[in-house]
């Protein structure tokens, strides 16, 4: 497949403005009525947000269109620990994301744009902005800000609170950011990958975008692939690619694959190498999961799914924003329960408690944090029923002593030091 978002990669350096224009051509200027036309094109393309929620981009843009003094916020926080796609975009092809952000500003009449990204990727973003300013004076004021730490910090309302100088905590909705966002102004918060797609749709049209998918699913997607594969990394794939074929794109399997974590830590588990499933939400929803933030982790036969699930639940419980009882106490109780099961220290009725408590936290938080954790646990209960039962009866298995496959930010930094 010919790359679209990742055209020109791999490259030893970020792709500069001149090379960017050679690869993609100039970004179109939107004249009178051009904003409505671009939004219609995004709708025809079927573009959805790539940050995890999958909300239709055109609907999000229309909610801001026509409002006074709007703001564009590029969300490159990437709080999902197993994802690296936004980092690749911002460090390797920043001009593609900038094109999308400036097109959004033109379409919605915004004069201000904020790029929220980890401090470690600011240098290539600022370099790209200097190139732009040297070539022409931009009509939009662009600021680069450090994104917050913490898993829920990337949620759009939590990110806005952080950018306002407050704690990165999710807000109750309504009002939505489109109505009252950054500093009370109507705000479009859009993921970096989504805006990169916008830059290409504006150039080539909805039909071109749709032609990049397979099986009737539109476009391409960036997927962060890791675990029991030979070449972990970020890959651009046609939407609708069968999951076993996605693993082949990453060099194939190192060992027999026991299960896949799809979508990230708010995603869910599917058995085996995902046979019969493809990388699109219509297919994945049949297995109770979603594409989420574009993550695929292959759990090998030598890894313990119970230990992984227990450790992941404990970390997610610690990542609670601390605003809601079901999240603070419910996730903490689930983490303790899974820890007991993983260690073989079960009590009578723990299996039923796991199912009941998982359902009790769904839909009861100010944000979707408990919902995502509940989805991950419920899919683990279905896919790893045998392993959970064995741990409850016999205690830790030989694989429990292996290093964890699913990394937290702190563990990831240690592994790459």
Output the pLDDT for position 278: 94
The answer to whether 291 and 279 are in contact (CB under 8 A) is yes
Q: CA 242 from chain center: how many Å?
A: 20
Q: Which CATH class is domain 220-300?
A: alpha beta
Q: Structurally, what CATH architecture does the domain formed by 305-401 represent?
A: Up-down Bundle (1.20)
Give me the phi and psi of 78, to 5 degrees please: 45, 65
The helix (run of H) or strand (run of E) holding residue 104 is helix 94-108
**DSSP character for 320?**
-
Beta strands 220-227 and 187-191, pairing class: unpaired
pLDDT score, position 415: 41
**Residue 412 pLDDT:** 43
For 284, residues 6+ apart whose C-beta sits below 8 A from its C-beta are 262, 263, 270, 277, 278, 290, 291
Q: Which CATH class is domain 17-210?
A: alpha beta
Q: Note the pLDDT of residue 72.
A: 98
Tokens matching residue 151: 């898993």
User: Tokens at residue 190, please?
Assistant: 């859009």
How confident is the model at residue 344, as a pLDDT?
86
For the four alpha carbons of 217, 220, 221 and 224, in that order, the dihedral sign comes to positive
To 10 degrees, the CA torsion angle through 209, 214, 218, 224? Answer: -90
Stretches where the chain sits below pLDDT 70 are 1, 409-417
Q: CA-CA distance, 18 to 67, in Å (whole number)?
A: 35
pLDDT of 254-285, one tens digit each?
999 999 999 998 889 999 999 999 998 889 98
Q: What is the pLDDT of residues 299-309, one digit of tens each?
A: 999 999 999 99
The count of residues in the chain is 417
Domain boundary assignment for the chain:
17-210, 220-300, 305-401
Note the pLDDT of residue 23.
Answer: 95
pLDDT of residue 410: 52
Give me the pLDDT at residue 130, please: 95
What does the pLDDT look like over 18-33, one tens digit per residue? 999 999 999 998 877 7
Q: pLDDT tens, 135-154? A: 887 789 999 999 998 888 88
Neighbours of 133 (CB within 10 A): 11
């Amino acid at each position: 497949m010919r790359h679209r978002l990742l055209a020109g990669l791999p490259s030893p350096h970020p792709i500069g403005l001149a090379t960017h224009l050679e690869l993609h051509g100039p970004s179109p200027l939107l004249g009178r009525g051009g904003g409505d036309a671009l939004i219609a094109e995004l709708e025809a393309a079927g573009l959805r947000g790539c940050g995890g929620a999958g909300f239709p981009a055109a609907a999000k843009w229309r909610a801001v269109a026509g409002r006074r003094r709007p703001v564009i916020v590029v969300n490159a926080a990437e709080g999902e620990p197993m994802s690296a796609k936004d980092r690749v975009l911002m460090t390797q092809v920043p001009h593609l994301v900038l094109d999308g952000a400036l097109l959004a500003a033109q379409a919605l009449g915004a004069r201000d744009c904020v790029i929220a990204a980890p401090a470690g990727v600011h240098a290539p973003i600022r370099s790209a902005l200097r190139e732009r300013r040297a070539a022409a004076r931009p009509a939009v004021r662009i600021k680069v800000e450090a994104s917050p730490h913490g898993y829920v910090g990337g949620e759009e309302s939590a990110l806005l609170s952080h950018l306002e100088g407050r704690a990165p905590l999710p807000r109750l909705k309504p009002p939505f950011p489109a109505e009252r966002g950054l500093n009370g102004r109507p705000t479009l918060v859009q993921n970096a990958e989504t805006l990169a797609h916008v830059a290409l749709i504006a150039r080539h049209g909805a039909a071109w975008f749709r032609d990049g998918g397979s099986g009737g699913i539109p476009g391409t997607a960036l997927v962060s692939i890791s675990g029991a594969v030979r070449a972990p990394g970020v890959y651009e794939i046609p939407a609708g690619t069968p999951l076993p074929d996605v693993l082949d794109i990453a060099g194939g399997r190192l060992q027999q694959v026991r299960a896949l974590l799809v979508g990230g830590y708010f995603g869910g588990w599917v058995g085996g190498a995902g046979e019969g499933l493809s990388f699109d939400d219509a297919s994945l929803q049949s297995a109770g999961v979603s594409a989420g933030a574009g993550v695929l982790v292959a759990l090998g036969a030598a890894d313990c799914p119970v230990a992984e699930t227990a450790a992941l639940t404990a970390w997610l419980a610690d990542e609670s924003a601390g605003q809601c009882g079901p999240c603070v106490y419910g996730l903490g109780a689930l983490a303790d329960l899974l820890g007991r099961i993983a260690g073989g220290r079960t009590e009578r009725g723990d299996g039923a408690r796991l199912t009941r408590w998982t359902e009790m936290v769904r839909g009861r938080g100010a944000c979707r944090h408990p919902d995502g954790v509940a989805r991950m646990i419920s899919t683990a209960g279905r896919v790893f029923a045998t392993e959970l039962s064995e741990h409850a009866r016999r205690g830790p298995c030989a694989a429990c002593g292996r290093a964890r496959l699913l990394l937290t930010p702190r563990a990831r930094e240690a592994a790459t030091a």
